[in-house]
Amino acid sequence: MPESFKNIVSYVWEHGEPFAERPLCRVDSLVFSQLSYVQLPSAAVEAWGWTGLRLHELWRSDWLEEMTGHMYDPAGAKRLLAAVAASPRFRNVRICGYVSQVDQVSEMQFSGMSFQISPQETYVAYRGTDNTVLGWKENFNMAFQVQMPSQVQALRYLERTASRTQGKLWVGGHSKGGTLAIYAAMSCAKEVRERLACCFSHDGPGITSVMLAELQGDTESIRIDKTIPEASLFGLLFDQDAQDDSMVVRSVSSGFAQHDPLSWEVDGCDFVKVERVKRSANYLDSSLNAWIEQAPLSERQRFVEALFSVFKAGDEEFFHDLKVNWRETWPRMVRAAVDLDPEERELLIRQFGNLIKELAPGGE
């Protein structure tokens, strides 16, 4: 990374004003969203309940590996934990109400974490997509599932947190976590919705028209703040208006790696803004979203199942390993693609050629 580059870790180190002096901003939201990827140990009992555990209490050498070892960038996660533990702004924020659930049968991964900033301010964060094939599969299931198990859990979690807290609420997340935040905000009871200051989605997929039709209540009153990187992948999915309605953020990475929040550039107390997404992101442009919107749910499901049958043929749990171990995984994936129905194979190549290319030997 360039020597002058600053990200959310730099922000935490350099801007320590208490929340009472400077209100929560979208960069704070991404900090909390990134912290929600941490897997808390069972020994952190206060965080699993509603007593709460201060952020600086997470900085323990005997917990670090368990908390960050599963993450895409464990070293980056540790740098962020060190920064929040030292920061006057973050170190006394309490983590409470931690929940982490995985259900292989329903293809659900759900985790929620609440950050009590003060007795009258709470940020509700949902963990986003991890680096597993299952995690990605759950994202794409949104193309055909009207109501996903993780969305049901997200709504319950927001309303449970509201019942345990007082005052202002923020809700947000990165990747799938951002979509869960929007769904929960739009679905929650009126008394909870009235407490919501803002809903943040950081490169999270949109919500399909089928899902929107199922939502009840005054969804127009919800303030949504969405940020996407220049080469956004997930943030454009199911959201044809994302480029117009979002803040496009400069990233020092390329391609899919821009999904990593630690690659997003920060200047002062906000992200560095660029005019629009790069042309290289056109593989998730309006043509794909238009196809998803017009295709019957059964056809969408067939498409998603075909796509992930190829990925699963690689026989790796983590997407990163599909590329690292390409000598073994790529031949298996190619054979699986060849065995697909010709129509399905053509559709996959046309719509997801760029995604598959990234996993190919030599892809970026």
20-46 confidence digits (pLDDT tens): 999 999 999 999 999 999 999 999 999
244 or 129: which carries more pLDDT confidence?
Answer: 129
| Ranges 86-90, 159-163, 303-307: which has the least confidence | 303-307
**191 in a structural domain:** yes
Task: Tell me the pLDDT tens digit for each residue of 207-262.
Answer: 776 677 666 555 677 899 999 998 887 787 777 666 667 899 999 988 778 889 99
Separation CA 33–CA 204 (nearest Å): 11
Please state the φ and ψ torsions of residue 229, each to the nearest 5 degrees: -80, 170
Residue 91: per-residue pLDDT: 98
Both 305 and 183 in one domain: the answer is no
For helices 176-187 and 133-141, give the axis angle rounded to 10 degrees: 40
Instruction: State the chain's mean pLDDT as an integer.
Output: 84
* Tokens read off for 150: 């993780």
| Of 288, 305, 325, the domain-final residue | 288
Per the structure, the complete domain to which residue 328 belongs is given by: 295-359
Residue 49: per-residue pLDDT: 94
What phi-psi label fits residue 199: left (phi over 0), alpha (psi between -120 and 50 degrees) or beta? beta
Give the residues across from 114 on adjacent strands: 96, 124
Both 92 and 183 in one domain: the answer is yes
| Of 288, 306, 325, the domain-final residue | 288
| Ranges 151-155, 185-189, 216-220, 251-255: which has the least confidence | 216-220
Closest by Cα among 157, 139, 160 to 319:
139
Residue 198: per-residue pLDDT: 97
Both 145 and 31 in one domain: the answer is yes
Both 88 and 16 in one domain: the answer is yes
Distances from the Cα of 206 to the Cα of 140, 262, 333, angstroms = 11, 22, 28
Both 274 and 309 in one domain: the answer is no
Both 143 and 276 in one domain: the answer is yes
Both 303 and 279 in one domain: the answer is no
Strands 53-54 and 94-103, sheet pairing:
antiparallel
Separation CA 257–CA 208 (nearest Å): 25
* Tokens read off for 216: 């009840």
Residue 300: per-residue pLDDT: 75
**73 in a structural domain:** yes
* Tokens read off for 180: 């869960």
Separation CA 157–CA 361 (nearest Å): 41
In the block, residue with structure tokens 């005019």 = 275
Closest by Cα among 17, 37, 57, 32 to 171:
32
Q: How many domains does the chain have?
A: 2
Both 278 and 329 in one domain: the answer is no
Both 200 and 310 in one domain: the answer is no
Residue 251: per-residue pLDDT: 94
Contact partners, residue 242, CB within 8 Å, separation at least 6: 206, 226, 228, 232, 235, 236
Whether 363 shows a pLDDT value over 90: the answer reads no
* Mean pLDDT (whole number) for 302-316: 76
Amino acid sitting at position 277? V
Separation CA 111–CA 342 (nearest Å): 38
Both 183 and 120 in one domain: the answer is yes
Number of H helices, E strands in the chain: 16, 10
Both 53 and 117 in one domain: the answer is yes
| Of 288, 314, 339, the domain-final residue | 288
- Is 55 in contact with 95 (CB distance < 8 Å)? yes
Residue 281: per-residue pLDDT: 60
**364 in a structural domain:** no
